[in-house]
Structure 1
Amino acid sequence: MSDGINKDVIRTESEGMKTDRMEMIVEIYESAECVRDHDFRTETNTPQPLQRTESRQLISKNENLTNERDQLLTNITNLTEERDGLKIKNKNLTNERDQLKLEKNDLQMSLGKLADGWIYNQSSLYFISSEKRNWAESRRYCTERGADLIIINNREEQEFVKNSSDSFWIGLTDSDVEGRWKWVDGTNMTSGFWGSGEPNSYNGDEDCAMIYSSGWADYPCNDAFRWICEKIIFK
């Protein structure tokens, strides 16, 4: 009886194993069919909604960074131009400062001559001589002191000089071309304060101008008169 029971148990187990094996085989075939029918390209190439969102965000960030970079480049260019402009202004101010220093030193040196008979009027220093020399020697005296014979530019200066009661050489001559009067700085005389009948070039050799109470007159350059030097301080 025990043998019969054992045989039934073995047969039952064998049939169970066969059944399990068949079920596994069916599952394998079904899995294979699913894999064969699946379109991997569609799954791989079709972007998912999350991927599309991240892509848009990256593109937006890239555009923002590009805009920021361009703005920074523009700011750098503007700052560079401002810097260069400030450098030019600084250079100009430095040149002006140096020029003012030179003018200050020149003025201090010029003012030091006041004790030697120089007087100040408007923007110039004047020296009125007490001795007499010809026109060329009178001018040499002035140029050796950083000045020149006086150039009379306006009526105020004319009145200032005319107040003296003597006659003086001024920085005016037509020695180069007869009748073409020039100041010692090379400029042409455009208007003057000639006395009545002057200039008359008496005897044809009156090429230098002098001033007296009635105005200007032409005289021979070798005649001896007092003279007036002028040194311009402020132009």
Structure 2
Amino acid sequence: MNNVKRSEIAEVIYDDVMLMTETVEMDRGERVEMMVDIYDSADTVRYHDLRTNTERHQPLQHTGSVSVKNRKHRAVEVCLCLVCVLLLTAVMMLCVYFTTERNQLLNHINNLTEEREQIKKKNDELQRGICKQDQRADNFKWTYYNFSCYYISSEKKSWSDSRRDCQQRRADLVIINSKEEQEFLQKVVGNDHFWIGLKKTEKVWKWIDGTTITKGYWKDQSQSSGCALMTSSGWEALPCWPSYGRKYICKRIILKSA
């Protein structure tokens, strides 16, 4: 009887122990599961915080790079502005320099022109004075025109004798170099005829200095004779015979001023 009771008590105790063991194991399993859940939650929180921090720092880095680029762009703009200012300043200085130089050059040219005109005027007066001296010596037969003195004869000679007389007066028979000179002499001769320094040699009309005429002022187209005469209406041709005496025009060229 006692043995049966002991056996029953032992079984009850064993059952209780097993129950307690299972309970402990269940509690331990629940703890392990709870610890796993806690660690999982912690990892999730850490991952979320890490991701949040990463996302938070990324805009800061992007903002920093944008700021660096803006500073670079501003530096380039400032440099370009400085270069433009320097170029503008250089252009303005060059304009001022060249304007000043131009004004000085124009003033210098004007001064030289005035001095040249004064020298020309004095030289012209001197040359007129020379012609006037010849006029007094030759009964006012000399006249002045464009840096030359002209002797207008009143006596008649052959063409050769006329030239010889001009040479004795430190001149020669007139050579006409321009239309203006031709018109001037046409007014001087009036209605008379005067030998000029033009002669036909070997069927060619040449001036006494050996040059061939390039333009003639002939009165008509018939120039078969050998020496030329000046008239108020143009040139005429006449044989160079010694018996043909005419008045004549001598010309003395006065050295022009520079």
TM-score by length of 2: 0.45
Q: Which has the higher contact order (CA 8 A, sep 6+)?
A: 1
Higher-Rg member (1/2):
2
TM (normalized to structure 1)?
0.48
